[in-house]
Amino acid sequence: MSLATEETQERRSTSTATLFPQEPADGALFRKNFDRQPFLFRHLLDRHPAFQLPALLRAAERLSANPATAGKSHFESGTPDRNAWFGDRPAGTTLVDALESIESGKNWVILKRIHEDPTYRDVLHDIIPELSALAAVDIADVYYDPTMTIFITSPGRITPYHMDGETNFLAQIHGTKQVYIYDGNDKGVLSDEDLERYWTGKLPKIDYPESMPHGQWQYTLEPGNGVFNPAIFPHWLQNGADVSVSVSMNFKRKRNAVIGAARTNRYLRMAGIKPKAPGASPALDRAKEATFGRLYDAAYAAAAKLKGK
């Protein structure tokens, strides 16, 4: 089979095949929990040819060869613990090298923004309306920058404790892993000051809560299931005895009063004013987001444009 034929098969439309079961129980689960708290969901992405290891190796080769995507993916080696931070790329190793040695190494490979590759763009395009139907939310309207990232992890490796600013669906494709999630609304996990620093880019690493090693939610991921992780809910992961492949689908909310309030509060606090915490007054949160929050967004966008991002 030629490489062109293999890529055509990987890109074959999934529009006639459901990737997420749409049974009433699935819909009820999504509607109750989406964007509120973690939950386990079902999917069929593990059957899709584009997510099998040989296809991912070909994708890594394409990403590496394309100047527009060559620097976006990440890989590292080592044995970090759950309170470590992410490492650097090992010298003399390529993205393809890291994938080819994934079984025997201690590697963590992240194919970032893989939806910029046409094969995976098509899959993400098919996924969004299915998730929207389950959650009863028009994700394309309420959220922006839909992103697909694929994690390929060596046996036994830990992904350190961290949090993400996006709503996230993590679907397991191959192997197993344990996921430990912490409540981002718990002030013992994240203080108001932590969130203020995070949303203004001043908190690169959050402190691991030693008194709560396994979080408030624990899930075992295996092919055919996945976990929803709300934005800013910290988590860490422990890979199983086999190579793990997981597909992450992230979405950013277009307007978020809590983020705008946290950013405003950071600067109020710096000015010596003790601000009211996000959530204490939804009307005040909306006002903060509509004023300083949007000014912050505009300034950040302008700065990113000047940097050529």
Q: What is the pLDDT of residues 232-246, one digit of tens each?
A: 999 999 999 999 999
Q: What is the per-residue pLDDT for 204? A: 79
Same domain, residue pair 183 and 48: yes
Q: What is the per-residue pLDDT for 68? A: 87
Q: What is the per-residue pLDDT for 11? A: 54
Q: What is the per-residue pLDDT for 85? A: 82
Same domain, residue pair 118 and 152: yes
Do residues 251 and 166 touch, judged by C-beta distance below 8 A?
yes
Q: What is the per-residue pLDDT for 15? A: 47
197 located within any domain: no
Same domain, residue pair 88 and 166: yes
Phi/psi for 232 (5° steps) reads 55, 30
What three-state secondary structure class fits 264?
Answer: helix
Give the residue among 3, 19, 28, 35 at the shortest CA–CA distance from 250.
Answer: 35
Give the residue among 193, 258, 197 at the shortest CA–CA distance from 230.
Answer: 258
196 located within any domain: no
- Give me the domain span that covers residue 113: 3-190+207-253
Same domain, residue pair 224 and 279: no
Q: What is the per-residue pLDDT for 7? A: 53
pLDDT averaged over 10-residue windows placed end to end, the chain, 309 residues: 49 65 97 97 97 96 90 89 84 91 92 94 96 97 95 95 96 98 94 94 88 96 98 96 97 91 93 92 93 86 70
Which residues lie closer than 8 Å to 206 by C-beta, 6 or more apart? 161, 162, 163, 190, 194, 198, 234
201 located within any domain: no
Same domain, residue pair 32 and 173: yes
291 located within any domain: yes
Q: What is the per-residue pLDDT for 9? A: 52
Q: Report the run of H or E that residue 302 belongs to, with start and end.
A: helix 294-306
Separation of CA 94 from chain center: 23
Burial 46-85 (b: 16+ CB within 10 A, else e): bebebbeeebbebbbebbeeeeebeeebbbbbeebebebe
Structure tokens belonging to residue 111:
């194919």
Structure tokens belonging to residue 149:
């990232």
Same domain, residue pair 51 and 181: yes
Same domain, residue pair 272 and 225: no
28 located within any domain: yes
Same domain, residue pair 143 and 272: no
195 located within any domain: no
Q: What is the per-residue pLDDT for 10? A: 55
Q: What total number of domains does the chain contain?
A: 2
Distance from the first to the final alpha carbon of the chain:
38
Same domain, residue pair 301 and 160: no
Domain of residue 54, CATH code = 2.60.120.650
